[in-house]
Structure 1
């Protein structure tokens, strides 16, 4: 750990300040149109002015180990698997072909601009700036809903090019330090570390999953222990691969993918609710801290290049950023047609991607957490022009974030892109299918019942499911508009009932008629019911909005 002077801020207090900065910026972002990363970076830079704050920033290796595995693991866990497989060719085209072009073009550009930077070191910078950041994209476009296919493409690309960029970074750093490089040996080694990393990550996640299921089924684990084991999974998969000198990055990605495939089958509902809440909070803080730490590091980065002429620094940063963005725009249009040809070999009905979506995919490429983590992990000793390369990587992050934040929303509006109703249609179909399955099961139970009260209650449940089918079946715009007020009235009445229950619960608590344990259980039940109402209410409101628009 760094040695602090007497004036330095204590580590616990510094962590508290950083977390508070993330929360404050998150609150401001929700109330304004400003993307969260553009608030977090200036906040970190301001915090760097506080005496002693810069001394508590983690060293590069710790930074990489703490932040990268859970971020990659969560990305792989959350990405829609069906959509990823359907878009595998466009995703691989961006995540492999474009990354390779970016690495090569950046390496030669940096070596040409600054001859003191070896070509391998330039390739390392290209590998650093090649991964895009899904969090930054979503923070910019969250108020402008994009077509589902485009959203899935950007998220899938971000996941895979994180892995491909970091693997290329690993080989570039090794070549820069050793001064030797063999394409054949690198290709063979790449396959070894990639495949081995995936297998190691799968094995580690499988072991933790078996342990979690065994403890849970034997009653030795509750929701907290099960959630804790899932939090260990990204680090276990990453370290398992790294300890064998394989790709820990791909290990974390593979572990997250496997965990998602096993989640629905092996996780209890109560465990899943806790896991979702804990992971949402963890990812919010981790993604926020990455950008705050970037701002916190900026004065140190600038100090590292203080002896360099500013025209050269500014010109190099602009040139590298412009080349990276230009290569992407040049790549996406021909690549989209080539990937369409490959996709149609097994899915002939795949539509031609509209040029507007292709243009937005080419422009939506801000850099973020992975770029910063990789740049800071450059070896501190013996790596040529390390401080200069860290400066350029930081500049690319800031410039791409600013340019995308200022222009991407306007570009989306100008092109007239809007969300499609694919997810809504699938949601309706699923609601109908689930309700029909429940009705079939309840009618089978009704045939076996003899008690009048059982038959009456079962019939009411069947009628409730039939009403759900009526809400979600495809209807004309006029019918949808007639149904919407009735549905909203029902939701409103149910919320009135829940509000009355809450007031009564507060009275019972105020008069000390029930214990805190009973209060917590009842509050949990009310919370689940209200969250369920919110979730259900969002679907008809979207349907009625589209009906009104029609």
Structure 2
């Protein structure tokens, strides 16, 4: 009961903190992290101890699945080199930089412990990236680089961490073995994830019931992660691979009704999971501080080295991003023009968007008892999370505004929303026209034919002329929304007066809800 009451209290805290962040214009992650830290030190509350394996297996698979489900695969393929550079190259470079600075700042810390710390704090977190990116607007290329990096970099960090721990235990390290292990873990994880994703695509439509289909989509990420980990492969890569396949095929697997229900379910679940992650991170501060002897020990013995490590990982990311952009500029001078530099402004934003989160904390907590420097590693990891979320998370929006980013001119040109709507309307009209007449040529669906002809004509007229028609369009849908509101009021009056039953109320209200959603979407 105490545990359940604590969960309910945390749910209340999430609602209050999210509302407060919205009113103050703060990123919710910042409010939740701060509120969780304050929550942890309230008198009478138990110390929250996180089981690192449990935290990873509960939160990471569905959050990775959700990111992979909606990512633009065409853009992912187009920028695969840049994503790999960030997800692998930047992680390795940052690990080395942090390890060197940690060894310099704490000379008594063994190199294996320094490398473990570097591997723990090097990969930016998928949850933190999502939480911040939802509140800012970026050019498509930068957005896909950050999204892709956050999906794949945990695999790099976890492999480096395992080798650092093994080196600390045995005193031996082989770069060849590390590279081979990374390739094996990644390839094997991708195969497992592809198998789970393909299985879901084939089996989900046969479930027929919408709730079973949605439940199967919830099972897929955990099945991928757990199966891959059971074979000692990368659960991260397996989950991402399954998510990419499921997201690509969900448009044909799900019906409209299932997709609407599924989207709503996943949106609420991911919202709660992300919120709980940041609240749990903040709430675990008390246990970490008490473990090493209190704030006094942190300030007296660890503050300067931790600040040096925070500066090192920040500067290392900037160095890698600007260095990679410089390499691209250099090879272009020799005639290799396949890749384009992102420019100093975009590189600044990309370098500043390096928030850490739940993976960093969970991996730090998994450092074995008795491992050299474990207490320092825990405190440093926690400080990195707080520092990056509070500093970079709160200022990233301002950095983006100051950078005044523009979309690259060589990005492939896509149809605008109105142009796509016009193409869709023409396809619908062609089908209606082909079935609107009987064998003698007489029109059998006159109103339907007029409706789709009118819609196709309006769509063609609107495409490319959005500003001209914006006022009329908004007034049109505003009137529809008023009509829907009037219909709903009358429906409720009939129900309250006992003139219709609950079933009629629910069915007709569902129709009104769909009409309202359609009008709001069209107006937007």
Is the TM-score greater than 0.5?
yes
Instruction: Tell whether 2:460 aligns with 1:474.
Output: no
The separation in 2 between residues aligned to 1:496 and 1:346, in whole angstroms, is 60
- CA-based RMSD of the aligned residues comes to 2.7
Q: Say how many residue pairs are matched.
A: 519
For structure 1, which segment, 76-85 or 171-180, has the greater mean C-alpha deviation from structure 2 after superposition? 171-180
Residues 135 and 249 of structure 1, relative CA distance in 2, 3 Å threshold? closer
The separation in 2 between residues aligned to 1:290 and 1:430, in whole angstroms, is 38
Identify which of 445, 457, 469 aligns with 2:435: 445
Instruction: Tell whether 2:388 aligns with 1:397.
Output: no
Residues 194 and 351 of structure 1, relative CA distance in 2, 3 Å threshold? closer
The Cα shift of 1:51 comes to 5.0
- Partner residue, 1:3: none
3-state SS of 1:185 partner? helix
- Partner residue, 1:531: 517
Deviations 1:44-95 (A, max 9, x none): 1222134564445442221121111111222222221111111111111111
- Partner residue, 1:281: 268
- Consecutive unaligned residues of structure 1, counting only runs of 5 or more, are 1-8, 217-221, 539-550
- Partner residue, 1:497: 483
Deviations 1:457-514 (A, max 9, x none): 312222123212322x113xxxx44311110111111111111111111012112233
Residues 215 and 414 of structure 1, relative CA distance in 2, 3 Å threshold? closer
- Partner residue, 2:240: 253
- Partner residue, 2:122: 130
The Cα shift of 1:240 comes to 0.4
The separation in 1 between residues aligned to 2:167 and 2:510, in whole angstroms, is 56
Give the TM-score, by structure 1 length.
0.87
For structure 1, which segment, 401-410 or 137-146, has the greater mean C-alpha deviation from structure 2 after superposition? 137-146
Matches within 5 A, 1:99-498: 99-137=91-129, 139-140=131-132, 142-216=134-208, 222-306=209-293, 308=297, 310-339=299-328, 352-379=341-368, 381-417=369-405, 425-448=415-438, 454-471=445-462, 473-475=463-465, 480-498=466-484
The separation in 1 between residues aligned to 2:138 and 2:288, in whole angstroms, is 36
The Cα shift of 1:442 comes to 2.0
Residues 519 and 286 of structure 1, relative CA distance in 2, 3 Å threshold? same
8 Å CA contact 2:50–2:284 kept in 1: the answer is: no
The Cα shift of 1:243 comes to 0.9
For structure 1, which segment, 434-443 or 402-411, has the greater mean C-alpha deviation from structure 2 after superposition? 402-411
Instruction: Tell whether 2:64 aligns with 1:72.
Output: yes
The Cα shift of 1:521 comes to 2.5
Deviations 1:248-284 (A, max 9, x none): 1211111111211221121222111111111111111
Residues 512 and 451 of structure 1, relative CA distance in 2, 3 Å threshold? farther
The Cα shift of 1:396 comes to 0.5
The separation in 2 between residues aligned to 1:309 and 1:366, in whole angstroms, is 22
3-state SS of 1:417 partner? coil
The Cα shift of 1:312 comes to 3.1
Identify which of 10, 17, 20 aligns with 1:18: 10
8 Å CA contact 2:112–2:165 kept in 1: the answer is: yes
3-state SS of 1:22 partner? helix
The Cα shift of 1:36 comes to 0.9
Deviations 1:423-481 (A, max 9, x none): 9953233212111111222222235475556224312222123212322x113xxxx44
The separation in 2 between residues aligned to 1:496 and 1:349, in whole angstroms, is 53
The separation in 2 between residues aligned to 1:198 and 1:187, in whole angstroms, is 16
Residues 186 and 95 of structure 1, relative CA distance in 2, 3 Å threshold? same
Matches within 5 A, 1:41-56: 41-50=33-42, 53-55=45-47
For structure 1, which segment, 225-234 or 107-116, has the greater mean C-alpha deviation from structure 2 after superposition? 107-116
The separation in 1 between residues aligned to 2:238 and 2:335, in whole angstroms, is 29
Find runs of 4+ consecutive structure 1 residues off by over 6 angstroms: 340-347, 418-424
The Cα shift of 1:373 comes to 2.4
The separation in 2 between residues aligned to 1:464 and 1:347, in whole angstroms, is 48
